[in-house]
Amino acid sequence: MTNPEHERWVVEADGVAADYSGLIALADVDLRLPAARLTAIIGPNGAGKSTLLKLLTGMKKPLRGSLRVCGMDIHTARRANAVAYVPQETDIDWDYPISVRDVVLTGRYGRSRQSGGWRAWLPPRFIGASHHDKAHAAMAAVQVDDLADRPIGALSGGQKKRVFMARSIAQEADLMLLDEPLAGVDRRSERIIIDYLKEFVRCGKSVLMVTHDLPTVRDCADWVVLVNRAIAGVGDPEEMLAAEALEKGYHRIEHRGER
């Protein structure tokens, strides 16, 4: 894809591979994704979609290759709070009573540390009024503000998803990575999340969203990446969701066992 001068890349990957104990999960990732788009990441189970997002957060180190997000290396992007992440697994068994408000306030931690001061090292609820206001606005954006005082462990799966989304919104990142944010949420919540993401992109920010919901991809994605142990295709939804591209992308799993 050509890159007109005004266009920014939000992801730049060259020769990236990732493994788990020597078993290759993703290989040959050469990818350029334009900023200010809602990009959907699709592909079959076990294709490496979550692994790709974990590489972009810095939670997982690539086996080889180089990666940049928002024009920065991963370490710098992390320190700049440029990347927010909603993980796929929100079914963590919370056995201690942290409230929804405190979970969302953790999204402000990086920002409060950036602005310095002793408050940054206190528990979330002491980090200062401006951070509380941002957290409240984030909860309101995905309509979980009425759950603020509830313990996170007492929420349903779909409610938890929206709380993690609020934490990510509170972070005010330039790039949001969302791993199946629509799985298990009802139609109304799905609409709220999609509308928020569209507005986020309209403001010049970028979204990478893993999903299995192809009709939603058709409706709202600007750009699509098809992953199947490697990058099986990149293009606009019309091109990538054509039967032929899907057939090719979903069925050609190459089993790479070695480094």
Ligand X SMILES: Nc1ncnc2c1ncn2[C@@H]1O[C@H](COP(=O)(O)OP(=O)(O)OP(=O)(O)O)[C@@H](O)[C@H]1O
- In the complex, the residues that contact ligand X under the rule CB under 6 A are 20, 25, 43, 45-51, 88
Q: How far is the CB of 50 from ligand X (least distance, A)?
A: 3
Smaller CB distance to ligand X: residue 97 or 157? 157
* Residue 25 binding result from ligand X, Mg ion, none, given CB thresholds of 5 to 8 Å by partner type: ligand X
211 counts as binding Mg ion under rule CB under 5 A: no
Select 127 or 224, whichever has its Cβ closest to ligand X.
224
- Which residues are CB-neighbours of 15 under 8 A, at least 6 positions away? 28, 29, 30, 64, 65, 66
Give me the least distance between CB of 99 and ligand X, in Å please.
Answer: 29
Give the residue, chosen from 50, 159, 211, 228, that forms a contact with Mg ion under the rule CB under 5 A: 50
Closer of 41 and 67 to Mg ion (Cβ)? 41
For residue 47, the partner it binds in Mg ion, ligand X, none, with Cβ less than 5 to 8 A by kind, is ligand X
Q: Which of residues 67-106 bind Mg ion (CB under 5 A)?
A: 88
| Residue of closest CB approach to Mg ion | 50
- Using alpha carbons, select from 223, 204, 216 the residue that is nearest to residue 7: 204
Q: How far is the CB of 58 from ligand X (least distance, A)?
A: 16
Decide which of ligand X, Mg ion, none touches 124; Cβ closer than 5 to 8 Å per partner kind. none
Smallest gap, in angstroms, from Cβ of residue 46 to Mg ion? 8
Query: Which is closer to Mg ion, CB of 50 or CB of 206?
Result: 50
Q: Which of 24/152 has CB closer to ligand X?
A: 24
Residue 168 Cβ vs Mg ion, minimum distance, rounded to whole Å: 17
- Nearest approach in angstroms of CB 49 to Mg ion is 5
First to last CA, the chain: 29
What DSSP string describes the chain?
A: ----TT--EEEEEEEEEEEETTEEEEEEEEEEEESSSEEEEE--TTSSHHHHHHHHHTSS--SEEEEEETTEEHHHHHHTT-EEEE-S-------S--BHHHHHHGGGHHHHHHT-SGGGGS-GGGS-HHHHHHHHHHHHHTT-GGGTTSBGGGS-HHHHHHHHHHHHHHTT-SEEEEESTTTT--HHHHHHHHHHHHHHHHTT-EEEEE-S-HHHHHHH-SEEEEESSSEEEEE-HHHHTSHHHHHHHHH--------
Answer yes or no whether residue 171 interacts with Mg ion by CB under 5 A: no
Which parts of this chain interact with Mg ion (CB under 5 A)? Answer: 50, 88
